């Protein structure tokens, strides 16, 4: 019997031992960041808030603005865009549009995303805002809305300029917003080739051929910026976004991005713990038109944790001492805290899942008496 108890205790202890995660890989880049998109958990970072030149990573924001214009009904994929001499002459990578021709927004978007066309970036900017300078103002307005506090754009292409900069932390914000908010357009980033003007060009993101989980996002390169890559990959419930800026070669940006994605996918996992609107508990409400109120979560809650640690998660609920009507649906009435060992994984508001109005005079009188008598 003693041996049996010892074995049970050993199994219990083994099952509650937290997973061990090795040190993150050393990445040879000016700045980098690996984040899980749903939970917002940053898994690896270095110089993530340092201002760096983004080169063509800029075009993630250029496309984001175009997607927003389409979503608002101000622009259609079928709209034709006149190609100015400035757009046609823009140096760097191109989709090879012809001056004074008319090209659809859809073709220009593919030229922007797949071929990294500077000509398509300028053409879209001029069509939407009248000039590239004005469009840069739109880009900065969107950056402010997304909380990109260390970013400033002066053009739509990413061509070098002393006042054109961003950070790995900021780039991941616009990337995550694009994936989350524009699921109909994001698949363009996974397209491996695009032919325009009888010229076939291949997506510069070579990870699309090397990792089936990868479905984006964007490369960039100038002499000043070095070789940059934002990549994203889907593994079950996990969506990883890796930002690598300032590597020494096109091969290096692929190698370093692969190292980050491999680290994240091998040693971490993401779970949706709660769905939006899910009831977690119910509590007594005083002086209301109903006595019981369901409490839960207002939005999906994801956590990213070391692999095999799911069973070690421990959620706790904390509710305000006394709930009194009126209560609006969505009011924060406490917290849900999820612990892993001694670490807080996440804390979210515990909200009212229904409306509670003030009860009748009789109902409120009864509740007053119940409280005086210490009754429920």
Distance CA 51, CA 45 (A): 14
SS3 annotation, the chain: CHHHHHHHHHHHHHHCCCCCCCCCCCCCCCEEEEEECCCCCEEEEECCCCCECCHHHHHHHHHHHHHHHHHCCCCCCCCEEECCHHHHHCCCCCCCCCCCCEEEHHHHHHHHHCCCCHHHHHHHHHHHHCCHHHHHHHHHHHHHHCCCCCCECCCCCCCCCCCCEECHHHHHHHHHHHHHHCCCCHHHHHCCEEEECCEEEECCCCHHHHCCCEEEEEEEEECCCEEEEEEEEEECCEEEEEEEEEECCHHHHHHHHHHHHHHHHHHEEEEEEECCCCEEEEEEEECECCCEEEEECCCCEEEEEECCCHHHEEEEEEECCCEECCECCCCEEEEEEEEECCEEEEEEEEEECCCECECCHHHHHHHHHHHHCCCC
Do residues 92 and 118 make contact, with C-beta atoms less than 8 angstroms apart? yes
Query: In a 10 Å sphere around its CB, with 0-12 CB exposed, 13-18 middle and 19+ buried, how is residue 374 labelled?
Result: exposed
Residues forming beta bridges with residue 303, ordered by sequence position: 271
State the angle between helix axes of 168-181 and 132-145 in degrees (0 to 180), rounded to the nearest 10. Answer: 90
The candidate with the shortest Cα–Cα distance to 37, out of 265, 304, 274, is: 304
> Which residues form the catalytic set?
56, 59, 116
């Amino acid at each position: 019997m003693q041996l049996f108890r010892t074995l049970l205790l050993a199994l219990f202890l083994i099952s509650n031992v937290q997973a061990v995660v090795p040190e993150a890989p050393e990445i040879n880049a000016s700045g980098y960041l690996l984040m899980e998109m749903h939970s917002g958990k940053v898994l690896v970072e270095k110089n993530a808030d340092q201002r760096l030149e983004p080169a063509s990573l800029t075009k993630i924001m250029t496309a984001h603005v175009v997607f927003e214009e389409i979503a608002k009904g101000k622009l259609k994929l079928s709209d034709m865009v006149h190609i100015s001499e400035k757009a046609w002459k823009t140096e760097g990578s191109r989709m090879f549009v012809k001056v004074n021709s008319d090209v659809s927004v859809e073709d220009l978007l593919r030229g922007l995303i797949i071929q990294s066309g500077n000509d398509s970036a300028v053409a879209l900017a001029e069509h939407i805002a009248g000039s590239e300078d004005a469009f840069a103002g739109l880009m900065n307005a969107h950056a402010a809305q997304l909380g990109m506090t260390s970013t400033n754009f002066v053009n739509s292409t990413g061509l070098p300029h002393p006042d054109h900069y961003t950070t790995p932390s900021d780039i991941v914000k616009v990337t995550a917003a694009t994936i989350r908010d524009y699921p109909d357009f994001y698949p363009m980033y996974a397209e491996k080739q695009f032919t325009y003007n009888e010229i076939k060009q291949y997506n510069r993101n070579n990870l699309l051929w090397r990792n089936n989980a990868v479905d984006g996002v964007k490369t960039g390169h100038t002499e000043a910026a070095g070789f940059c890559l934002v990549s994203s990959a889907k593994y079950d419930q996990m969506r990883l976004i890796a930002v690598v800026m300032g590597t020494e070669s096109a091969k290096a940006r692929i190698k370093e991005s692969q190292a980050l994605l491999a680290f994240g996918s091998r040693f971490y996992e993401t779970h949706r713990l709660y769905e939006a609107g899910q009831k977690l508990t119910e509590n007594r409400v005083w002086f209301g038109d109903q006595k019981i109120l369901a409490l839960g979560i207002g939005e999906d809650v994801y956590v990213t944790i070391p692999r095999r640690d799911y069973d070690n998660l421990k959620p706790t609920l904390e509710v305000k001492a006394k709930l009194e009507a009126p209560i609006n649906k969505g009011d924060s009435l406490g917290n849900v805290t999820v612990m892993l060992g001694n670490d807080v994984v996440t804390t979210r508001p515990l909200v009212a899942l229904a409306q509670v109005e003030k009860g009748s005079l009789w109902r409120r009188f009864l509740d007053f008496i119940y409280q005086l008598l210490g009754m429920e």
